[in-house]
């Protein structure tokens, strides 16, 4: 089964959307001191290139003691050392 992927021209609004989603994610985590930053990653974070239009975020944390199968808000987390 083949799935077609539609690439969109870069949308400058993706950066603002990423900031808003990062704020929502940080709010969901509360005041957890392990959260270092939330990065906008992937093709939507690169100005001037086409992308699928899906905003990818990577929360960086100082330590992560949860079991691998546990997530926050359905998202897995990147770990900074």
Q: Whole domain around residue 64: which residue ranges?
A: 13-79
pLDDT digit string, tens, across residues 60-78:
988 766 555 555 555 555 5
Q: Please report the pLDDT score of residue 77 as a whole number.
A: 54
* Residue 64 located in a structural domain: yes
* Residue 5 located in a structural domain: no
* Residue 25 located in a structural domain: yes
pLDDT digit string, tens, across residues 7-64:
999 999 999 999 999 999 999 888 888 889 999 999 999 999 999 999 999 999 887 6
* Residue 6 located in a structural domain: no
* Residue 45 located in a structural domain: yes
Decide which of 46 and 5 is more confident. Answer: 46
Domain count, the chain: 1
Question: For residue 26, how many other CB atoms are within 10 A of its CB?
Answer: 15
In whole angstroms, give the CA distance from residue 65 to residue 21.
24
* Residue 7 located in a structural domain: no
Closest CA to 10 of 62, 46, 63: 46
């Amino acid at each position: 089964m083949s799935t077609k992927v539609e690439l969109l021209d870069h949308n400058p609004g993706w950066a603002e959307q990423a900031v808003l989603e990062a704020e929502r994610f940080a709010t969901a985590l509360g005041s957890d001191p392990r959260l270092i930053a939330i990065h906008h990653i992937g093709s939507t974070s690169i100005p001037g290139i086409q992308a699928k239009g899906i905003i990818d975020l990577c929360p960086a944390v100082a330590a992560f003691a949860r079991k691998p199968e546990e997530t926050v808000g359905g998202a897995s987390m990147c770990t900074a050392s």
